[in-house]
Amino acid sequence: MKALSKRETLERALVAYTMGDYELAQDVLTGYLEKYPDFPLAYNVLGNVYGKIGKYEAAINEFKTAIALKKDYPEAYNNLGVVYKNVRRYKEAIAAFEQALKEAPDKCQIHYNIGNTYKALKDYPNAVKEFKQVIKLDEKYVAAYNNLGVIYEELGRAKDAVRIYTKGLQIDPNQPRIRYNLGIIYGKLGNLKEAKREFEQALKIKPGWLDALNNLGITLQRLGEHKRAVKIFKELLKRDPDNLKARNNLGVVYDKLGNRKKAVKYYREALKVNPNYVRAVSNLGIVFEEQGIYSEALVEFEKIVKLKPDNLDARIRLGNTYRLMDRFQDAIEQYTYILGKTPEHTDAIKILGSMYYEAGEIEKAKEFFEKLKLIEPDNKEYHFDLAMVLKDQGKYKEAEEELKLFLESEPENINARMQMGELYYEQGLFKYAAQVFKDLIEYDSENPALYYQLGRVYTKMGDTEKAIEVYEKLITLQGTKDNLEGFDHLKDSLELYENAIAEYEHSFREERAMNLQRLKGVSFDVSEDGEEKFGDELIVEESTKLEEDSVPIIDIGGMEPVLSIEEEEEIGRASCRERV
């Protein structure tokens, strides 16, 4: 058999490398280097082989040897940078890429790799600069559009991300990653039909893609296409029977369909696969809580806290369950723990303030609401709670000022406007109080509490005729048939309405408590998305955006460099909520 020439040997190694036969490539190259130890190209190719099989230190040594033999070797510097990036030695990676750029400033692959390194360091301005340079050098370099879009999304520049993804698809409409990422950002923007279209297109290009199936299912659920969502998640389970996301999300969809029995079934199946799967534990707890089975909900939320003691969202949910079970001291301990970890945790501060207020500990409640005022001066919601505290303390003018601040953000809030009327009443500003209640009656003409309060105001003003007229309307509204001839005959009947108002106040406080219970967006997944709050939302587990990563460069003699793109999936945050 004829012996291979030096070039033929290298080409055989390259073919093996390109085909993924790294063992053969390694054997050919090591044998070659035993005969020809001074050939830098062979070290460069061997370094790439070691990089592919995860032998990073060996790869670094091969690239350094290649550079020692050939100082002006941009491909070896680039590939050394790729390996440094893979082992998170980012400063050394940047230094290697910069040296490569000194030798080959117009090689777009090097700019692309240094852009990915800056992105890993969250140095987004430099990353954007490098990806733009890639596109300037080669406007058809589609991977750069993908990663530039990912960065714009990270920076909250959603429109720019959509624009750059769309431009990438104009160059190559059959890029499943870009379509997938575009679907994610459309979901975040609430453009669900567009998100659905992109996930479906991604699946046409790449059938059976599990992450795309998962996010398509979530999008269908958000669109109310629950039956099709069930079909998609079941298809995902056929392809991947142990897929936790699919089981969790099936539970979410069945809960949306009102089939809580099946929802519980799928959450429990997910937990059989992984008993520590926090999302399914959380969703199971929420289902039990919504059904009023607080003891079962408590078991699940205590399990989360045991699994992740510093998961503060889980402690919020656990504290809420304790409150619903009238275990107030246990609830206070949870919220106090949260404040020990995060002193400015606004949800915990708000709930503690409300709990102390409900318990009649007005000074303590005021302390927490005043703290909220310092932490979030632009957030108007806490002003209502603080106004109620000040009202109970008899500080009516201060309460009025707080309530005005709240009404700036919620001018149509009936409860707040009614409380303003009561504050005017307490301060003797009866004309103002009367106007408030008359305006409210125009808005809600069947609310007995408003007639009662307006009657009280007219009585204080000495306008007996108007008071009788209002009380008659009140009694008619309530269905009472007494024939009233004058103000004196109202006394016994009004006792009924005083009781009605007491019941209204009780309902009002219950509503406030339920509002606390419904603070939005529970998610116990302590990943990089900081938007998660507590509430009655179940958690859908979304798959995330993908970026293309490092480009090793192999240069054989005078031939055009052959590129091998090493792709890396990035877990990003799709905002599609799983009533999960």
pLDDT at 517 over 50: no
pLDDT at 204 over 80: yes
Q: Are 214 and 236 in contact (CB under 8 A)?
A: yes
- Identify the sign of the CA torsion 52, 58, 64, 67: negative
From CA 66, how far away is CA 43, in angstroms rounded? 5
First and final C-alpha spacing in the chain: 66
Q: Which range has the worst mean pLDDT, 186-195, 219-228, 484-493?
A: 484-493
Please tell me the predicted confidence (pLDDT) of residue 75: 92
From CA 147, how far away is CA 143, in angstroms rounded? 6
Task: Read off the amino acid at residue 5.
Answer: S
Please tell me the predicted confidence (pLDDT) of residue 508: 52
> Is residue 579 left, alpha or beta, with left meaning phi > 0 and alpha meaning psi from -120 to 50?
beta
Alpha helices in 241-293 (DSSP H): 244-256, 260-273, 278-290
Q: Which residue has the higher pLDDT, 546 or 320?
A: 320
Percent residues over pLDDT 70 in the chain: 82
C-alpha angle with apex 88: 82 to 92, nearest 5 degrees? 65
Q: What distance separates the 2 farthest-apart alpha carbons in the chain? A: 125
Across 38-56, average pLDDT: 91
pLDDT at 408 over 60: yes
Please tell me the predicted confidence (pLDDT) of residue 552: 54
pLDDT bracket for residue 565 (50, 70, 90)? very low
Mean pLDDT taken over the chain: 81
pTM above 0.85, yes or no: no
The tally of CA atoms less than 13 A away on the side-chain side of residue 459 is 15
- Spatial CB neighbours of 528, under 8 Å, sequence gap ≥ 6: 573
Q: Cα dist. 240→243, 441, 475, 539 in Å? A: 5, 59, 65, 20
Percent residues over pLDDT 90 in the chain: 45
From CA 557, how far away is CA 13, in angstroms rounded? 14
Q: Which range has the worst mean pLDDT, 4-18, 146-160, 179-193, 334-348?
A: 4-18
